[in-house]
Structure 1
Amino acid sequence: MMTQKKVVVFIYLPGETLAVPAGIFTHESDAGIGSFAYGRRYLERKNALPVDPAALPLGAMPREVATNKGLYGAFRDAAPDYWGRLVIAAERRVPPEVLSEMDFLLDGNATRVGNLDFRATIDDPEPALEPPHFNRLEEVMDAAFKIETGEQVAHHLMRLLRQGTSVGGARPKCTVQWRDALWIAKFPARNDSVNIPRIEYAAMTLAGKCGINVPTMYLQSIGGKDVLLVRRFDRVRHKDGWVRKGFLSALSIMQWDEADRLSWNYGAIADTMRRHTSVNDIKELFRRMVFNILVRNTDDHPRNYGFLFDDSGLKLSPAYDIVPSLSQPGVATEFFLAMSVGKRGREASLENALSHAIRFGLSGEESRVVVEKLVEKVGGWRDHFASVGCSDSEIRALDPSFARCMDSI
C-alpha cells in the first residue's frame, strides 16, 4: 500500500505579507511521485502567480512529477538544504535518513527561500519569523558546532538555529536579523583547514569587481571566528513584515533531476533563459561560468544558480556560494566544473568556454573581450585577497587554484 500525503501549498503574492492557499500537493513517498492541482478560487485571483513557473503554469491540469523523489523544482528549492535537514533531525533526535521528504517540507519555517509555504491544513497559522538577532550569533555558532560533533543542543538554542534557509548546501549557517534586513550568517565548519568564510568573502567581492551581480556582504568577527553575512535577496522589508520574492534554482527551471548530472549544461540553461530572462542575464551567466573556471569553483552545480520571480517576470538572482576549491601544487592543472561548459564537456578551460559562446548571445570577438577582461581582473586576486585579510599561508594554499589565470586564449 502506497504512503500518500497531502499538503496545502501557500504562496506569498507580490506586495503581500500574508500567504494565500494556491492548491493541494499530493505525494506518494513509496513511489516517489507527486502531483499538484491549483485551487479554483486561487486561479480566479487577478494577481495569481504560478507556484512553479517552469513546471506548473497557471491553469494547468494536475501533472505528476517523478524527478527529485516526486518534488517539483520550486518545492524542492523551498525545502531545507542538507544543513537544515541535519538541524531538524537533531531537534527531533533522530537520524536524517528516517525523515521523509514531506517531513522536511512541512518542517521548514518562515525563513525558507522563495515565496512558498507548506502546511498540513488550510487553517494552519502563519509560521512565525523568529530569526536570532546579530548579537546572539556567538551562542548560535556554538550550537552549530555541537550539531556537527553530535552533541546535544539546548532547546532554546535549537529554536534559533532552526531559522536556517534552504539555499547554501551542507555548511553550517543560520538566518539572522540585522540592520533592518535578513542575512544568512555562514559559520566556519569543524573540519575547515582554511578560513572558508573569509575566502568566500574574498572570492565573492572579487566577483563583484568583475561586474558580476553579488549580494551585499559583510565579514564579522564573532567570538574570535570569522562569520560571513550575506543579505537575503528574496526578502524585502515592508511596514507590515517581509515581502517575499519567488525563487527557482537553475536545476528547477531546467526540470533536471539532482541525480542526472550528465544533463547539467551551461549552454542548455542559456537556451532556456532566452524564453524567460533578458539578454543581459544570459551574458552574466557566461561571465559567472568563466569566473568559476578562473577561480576553480567546482561546486557550480545548478542549485547554486538561482532565479527570482514576481509579477514582472523572471530574472537571474545575485550570485552566491562561489568558493575556490583547494588544489595541491604539482598536481595536474586540469580540472572540471560541475556542469558542461562547451565542446569538451565539463573541462574547465577558457578555450572550452569560448567554444559555445554563441549560445550565450555573444559573438566570437565579444566573448574574447569578456574573457580577457575577466582574466585581467582575476589576475590580481592575490592583492585583493590580501586586502580583505587573507593570510600569506592561505594565499599560498590557493595559488594552484588560480592557474587558469595564466592561460592564453
Structure 2
Amino acid sequence: MVSDGASRYLAKFNRRTGDEYNYARVELACLDMAQAAGLEVARGRVLEDVNSRDVLLLERFDVELDDHRRHLVSVNALLKETGTQRDSGLPFRYDDISDLLIRHSGAVRTDLEQLARLALFNRAINNTDDHSRNFSLIHDGDYYRLSPAYDLVPSMTVGEYHAASFGYQPNPPRPSQVARVGRMFGLSKPLLRSCADEVFAAVERWREFAERAGVMDAEVDRIGSRFHP
C-alpha cells in the first residue's frame, strides 16, 4: 500500500516483459468505461515510467483516511464450507453472488442491479477472469454491500469460458442478448434492459476511454476486437 498523504493506494506494476498489453493503462480505461456503464468502481490513475514501467494506482476503498479499515470479505471466503473452510468444489456462478447479496446486503435491490451491470460488463469486455476472489462484500459502517468493482481486464483468448457462469449457461449474457434472458437476479425486464443499454453504450466508447488512458492505437484495436457487446 502506498500513500500520497490524502489517499491510500494499491500499486499494480506492469511486468517488464511478457504482458499481452499495457495492463496499467488498459485497466484504467476499463474502470473509467465501467463507471460510465453505471458501475461503482475502484478509482485509479497511472504513474508513468517507474523503473521503466507504468504503474496503476488504485484507491483503496477499504481504507479510511485515518487508516481505519472497513471489513472486506471476498465471495470466495463466503462460499467456503462452514465447518471445514474448504472450497465447495461446485462451479462458481453469478447466481451464487446474488444469493449472498440477498442474505447479507443492506441494500439488496441496488446491489443486485450493480451485479447485473457487472456481469454484463464482464461479458462485453471479455473479462473471463471473473473468479470468486474478484468479487467482495464491504461493510460501509452500517451494513454489508457489494464492493466497488475491480480487476476489470479483457482476455485476449478467443472462445474462452468465463470463470463465473450464469444460470445454466457457461457465460453471462452479452448486453445485446438480455431480451432472451428473461429475468436476471429478480430485476424487472425494463430495469435489466436499461442496465444493458447503458453497458452497451459505454463499451461502444472503448476507443475514447482507451485514448484518454494513453493506450496505444494498435492495442486499442486489438483489444476491442475481443469485445462482445
* 2:4 counterpart residue number: 178
Deviation at 1:271, TM superposition (A): 2.2
* 1:164 counterpart residue number: none
Distance 2:130 2:198 in 1: 21
Which of 250, 271, 290 in structure 1 is aligned with 2:99? 271
CA contact (8 A) 1:180 1:237 kept: yes
Identity of aligned residues (%): 29
Query: Are 2:186 and 1:361 equivalent residues in the alignment?
Result: yes
Relative to its length, the structure with more strand (as a share) is: 1
Give unpaired runs (5+ residues) of structure 1: 1-174
SS of 2:161 mapped into structure 1:
coil
CA contact (8 A) 1:342 1:352 kept: no
CA contact (8 A) 1:335 1:347 kept: no
Task: Describe the shift of the 1:259–1:274 C-alpha distance in structure 2 as closer, same or farther (beyond 3 A).
Answer: closer
Task: Describe the shift of the 1:354–1:287 C-alpha distance in structure 2 as closer, same or farther (beyond 3 A).
Answer: farther
Matches within 5 A, 1:2-401: 175-189=1-15, 190-221=17-48, 222-238=50-66, 242-255=67-80, 257-258=86-87, 260=89, 262-277=90-105, 278=107, 279-309=109-139, 312-327=142-157, 334-346=159-171, 349-350=174-175, 358-401=183-226
CA contact (8 A) 1:341 1:352 kept: no
Greater RCO (CA < 8 Å, at least 6 residues apart): 2
Distance 1:283 1:199 in 2: 25
SS of 2:64 mapped into structure 1:
strand
Distance 1:269 1:286 in 2: 10
Distance 1:217 1:347 in 2: 26
| Cα deviations by residue, 1:100-139 (Å, 9 ceiling, x for unpaired) | xxxxxxxxxxxxxxxxxxxxxxxxxxxxxxxxxxxxxxxx
Distance 1:390 1:362 in 2: 35
Distance 1:347 1:370 in 2: 14
Task: Describe the shift of the 1:355–1:195 C-alpha distance in structure 2 as closer, same or farther (beyond 3 A).
Answer: same
Tell me which amino acid in the other structure corresponds to 1:271.
Answer: D
TM-score (ref. length: structure 2): 0.87
Tell me which amino acid in the other structure corresponds to 2:221.
Answer: R
Greater alpha carbon shift after TM alignment, 334-343 vs 214-223 = 334-343
Tell me which amino acid in the other structure corresponds to 1:181.
Answer: S
Task: Describe the shift of the 1:357–1:207 C-alpha distance in structure 2 as closer, same or farther (beyond 3 A).
Answer: farther
How many equivalent pairs are there? 221
Give unpaired runs (5+ residues) of structure 2: none
SS of 2:168 mapped into structure 1:
coil
Task: Describe the shift of the 1:378–1:183 C-alpha distance in structure 2 as closer, same or farther (beyond 3 A).
Answer: same
CA contact (8 A) 1:203 1:322 kept: yes
